[in-house]
Amino acid sequence: MAGILERPEYQGHTVNFKTYKQSYKSKKTCCNPKEKQLVFENTHEASIDADTWERIQELRKNKRRPTRTGKTNMFSGIVRCADCGEKLYYCTSKDFEAMQDHFVCSTSRLKGEEVCPTHFIRAVFLEQGVLAHLRLVISCIANHEEQFRRAMGRSCALLWYSPARLSCRLKRRTPMQPKYEPSPTPVPNEEAPRGPRCFRCLLSETDHTLYETVRAYIDSLSPDLRVPDALYRERLAACTSCKNLINGLCGLCGCFVEARAAKTGSRCPAAAPRW
């Protein structure tokens, strides 16, 4: 079943050079890496559309092994270590209560604490933190929709109409379909009045009303989930020196930097983290 779910032939493609033999004398068949395989697209009728197949591959990357206890967690296979970037193992037992289920860094478990220090977070605290962050984002968008559109509208439009995305949609076109035409979805009006875009500015410096909502969320964090004030100021200083900070929003993750920097388990989303 796993092999069927990963075969690109069901998209209507033909794949050649999957295997090879080191010598004509050898009967052993070796598998070729994907970069050495040759793919001919749209050679026959597809059994599944490209979007569904890509969604299946994303789900396959985050496999969730069934535990002996029968317990499952929505974050299994998704959460990763903030330091090494590897997955966190979901730990549970039949004798555990809900407060005892937790996640542990896989690198620390397999290679030892000298490679990556032990990271431990209870599943209940993780769910509460994610839920609180979702409520904060939704409330901010609902109360300040126009500011959010001005801050994120341009980047979303550039992403949707980027040449890479258009070329990807062109490749999915079958020979029987008409020539590609741009989507009728209207492009955000570039001439609409926009507020000033302040680079390397915090939310407290640009929108005091919205900052009050973010500040209320920071104050509601429990002491064990909130960093000390000195470390918080250091993180904000690092954020203000980053070119991805626009009107208090991080251009890499879309979070309010004041809220992200206040959490103990958060880190800079850049490839080379600043904190």
> What is the chain's length?
275
Across the chain, mean pLDDT equals 76
d(CA 214, CA 136): 7
d(CA 263, CA 225): 6
Long-range contacts of 252-257 (CB under 8 A, 24+ apart): 254/152, 256/136, 256/140, 256/203, 256/214, 257/202, 257/203
Per-residue pLDDT tens over the stretch 87-111: 888 888 878 877 888 888 888 878 8
d(CA 123, CA 132): 14
Average the pLDDT over each of 68-82, 137-151, 177-191, 206-220 and give the range with the smallest value. Answer: 177-191
The closest of 159, 114, 128 to 254, measured between CA atoms, is 159
% of residues, the chain, pLDDT over 90? 0
Can you tell me the mean pLDDT for 128-151? 81
Per-residue pLDDT tens over the stretch 192-230: 344 456 777 888 887 777 788 888 888 888 888 888 989
% of residues, the chain, pLDDT over 70? 80
Q: Which pLDDT score is estimated for 189?
A: 43
Is residue 165 scored above 50 in pLDDT?
Answer: no
The closest of 5, 29, 32, 28 to 18, measured between CA atoms, is 32
Is residue 265 scored above 60 in pLDDT?
Answer: yes
d(CA 275, CA 32): 41
Average the pLDDT over each of 48-57, 145-154, 223-232, 260-269 and give the range with the smallest value. Answer: 145-154
CA atoms 69, 75, 80, 86: torsion sign:
positive
d(CA 261, CA 253): 13
Q: Please report how the helices 208-220 and 123-143 are oriented relative to each other, as an axis angle in degrees rounded to 10.
A: 160
Domain boundaries defined on the chain = 2-61, 126-173+196-261
The closest of 135, 145, 147, 176 to 247, measured between CA atoms, is 147
Q: Which pLDDT score is estimated for 69?
A: 72
Q: How confident is the model at residue 63 (pLDDT cuts 50, 70, 90)?
A: low
Select the more confidently predicted residue: 170 or 1.
1
Is residue 155 scored above 70 in pLDDT?
Answer: no
Select the more confidently predicted residue: 57 or 172.
57
Tell me the one-letter amino acid at 220: S
